[in-house]
Structure 1
């Protein structure tokens, strides 16, 4: 990218001059535009809605449509097979090695009925039915659950009939009944499925400002345009401020596009079929934007700081790409170590945003104290990052390439 730098920048308008210059020039940079306005904000929503639609439709098909199940020993329990057929299970011919078949995913589940089923049944003894499956195959979970529930339902019905035949009440077999009272709302259940959204938003902000941050530091250093810029009689913190605000503008625009995209694609996810509710509309988007604002400044400062240590654009890409792993830490932490959120967690950058966005997804909202902690904690970290970057910009070595 060719850069024409004015020989002198007025002190009073230095910040605005640098800001407008960087925004104008990077609006002509195809790589920056694709990263900030296409790849980051739109790729995530498209991938998420595609994967969820494929997964949900497959799971719903397995839960509703006739399910073929290989049955070994079907002739030993004709009544059980008939009951399964009524509920959509289609018995198929037995297979020689059911254990190997489920491991190779040739079958989701295999039903094996013991040869002594009839004899034990007539004596009123417990009978055995084996459900052969591989729990490590996630794609088979719906089929396994469906068959298991049908077999258990049949067992309870037959057990009740045995008690009635002996003049006993069916409730005799169940002296204690656990009454389940699920307090999860439809929106809270949806939050579990969309727990990756906070990471998508942080990644969008990161991608939105990444190439701009690299170009405004390592890129200009490689093109040897920083030195004439620093030669102007302007405090360097004003130059840095103009660059940081330009990065923040691109990152914020990227986040806004992402929020709008999720609001649109969220309407095409069939959550209602699963008894869930998803609200990614204007209210959700505005609250997410508020939570993310100080984080945008922090990430812009970190990207500029890391890129400033590189002597070339390619080297800076490597350094900043490694920094991209930092935003995933809260997601990994909360998914592997489910913990109850504490007040102090909201003051931790990234972690506070993750917890806050998850609460918004659940429909619980973020109260004033949590919001203040989240904003103040991230703003303090952002201020520290900016101060460190300002100190680095005071170094004469920054303007030297090679």
Structure 2
């Protein structure tokens, strides 16, 4: 009687592959740097540093003395006094104001016409010119600050003229707009953190990318897939063990990223601009719940794409292109704001983006929205896993070109 080779139990086969892959890749410096350093730590630090730099620069321009070249300053001494009271420091006149702002020698230049004083004394409307370049983002705060000071001075002088003629200043403004901003300090934080969902998704992607390449294209190139497939174990169990290893690295990367954002988020001077940011435990727990299905989906997609590659380098090229896909929902929501519909939460990546944005606003996510998000992403992940299983059944996968 021929001896029958015993088949290992299902869970033992999956666990054996899982432990093997995790153990081997813990020795791979490139995988460790990508999963635990580059994506989850470097991203949050650079993100917060950039926000801090931008906010502090804008706050400095809004609060510190602002040098502004003034042409014809001698024609409007009272206007100059009002500007000085608002923190503007009149500078020396420039010969060509248009060229000065285009060359970024000045954010804004003020020019006062020689007939300013004559027209003012007659009670006629007068005009001053502000030269600026709207394509220079750096100049926006300075332009707004000078414009506001000039307009406030104009309203004050107009009111004084009406009073001098025995009229109420309200005569000039028969209609007033009372603005009722419904934004909360926390909801305004969305303006700064619109790309945060992309950071989390790309962290998951980077956390498992090199592992996914190595476990499929890498082993194929090293010709180690064929002896692995020769074992009396169904290939789908081998794939499950590999996906579990990729998922563990991706999840660990996401947890590190959430912790990093919770820590560095405390250093953002949000309160100075009337915002409130909460990236603590409650936020992290919901983000983790929403993104867990994406761990499986991205792991399966990475393994699927790597299965088409014949070498490690070729797989890197393919996955670098796949990395552009997660940015699409964040870009769409940033440039084309839309009102969220229920079905959108069932769309992978889009549902996670909408859910995280609601958490940032402080609105929270309902059980129905979480359910749709999980169901849609899990269904997509199941399809990706089934397709990858079919690829693993191909004999060509084990053969290196």
TM-score category (smaller protein): over 0.9
1:202-351 → structure 2 map (5 Å cutoff): 202-351=201-350
1:196-252 C-alpha deviation (Å, 9 max, x unpaired) = 100000000000000000000000000000000000111111000000010000000
Q: Which residue of 2 aligns with 1:133?
A: 132
Query: TM-score, normalization: structure 2?
Result: 0.98
Give the whole-Å Cα distance in 1 for the aligned partners of 2:353 and 2:166: 59
- Structure 1: distance between partners of 2:171 and 2:37: 64
The CA deviation string for residues 150-187 of structure 1, in whole angstroms up to 9 with x for no partner, is: 00100000000000000000000000000000000001
Residue aligning to 1:63: 62
2:162 maps to: 163
- Contact 1:11 1:234 (C-alpha < 8 Å) held by counterparts: no
Matched, 1:387 2:363: no
Relative to the length of structure 1, the TM-score reads 0.97
Q: Quote the residue 1:3 is aligned against.
A: none
Give me the whole-angstrom Cα distance separating, in 2, the residues matched to 1:335 and 1:192. 9
| Per-residue deviation, 1:9 | 7.3
Distance in 2, Cα, partners of 1:257 & 1:179: 46
Instruction: State the secondary structure of the residue aligned to 2:131.
Output: strand
Give, in whole Å, the separation in 1 of the partners of 2:230 and 2:86: 80
**CA deviation vs aligned residue, 1:126-173 (integer Å, no higher than 9, x gap):** 100111101110000010110010001000000000000000000000
1:10 to 8, 11, 30: 8
- Superposition deviation, residue 369 in structure 1: 1.1
- How well do the aligned residues superpose, as a CA RMSD in angstroms? 1.0
Maintained 8 Å contact 1:9/1:17: no
Q: CA deviation at 1:11?
A: 3.6
Match of 1:119 in 2: 118
Q: How far apart are 1:259 and its partner, in Å? A: 0.3
Gaps of 5+ in 2: none
Rounded Cα–Cα distance in structure 2 between residues aligned with 1:107 and 1:395: 66
Residues 231 and 11 (structure 1), Cα distance of their counterparts in 2 relative to 1, 3 Å cut: farther
User: Residue 4 of structure 1 corresponds to which residue in structure 2?
Assistant: none
The runs of 4+ residues in structure 1 deviating greater than 4 Å are: none
Question: Partners in 2 of 1:132 and 1:43 — Cα distance?
Answer: 40
1:82-130, Cα deviation, whole Å (9 max, x unpaired): 1111111000000011101111111000001111111111111110011
Would you say 1:104 and 2:139 are equivalent positions? no
Q: Distance in 2 between matches of 1:228 and 1:366?
A: 48
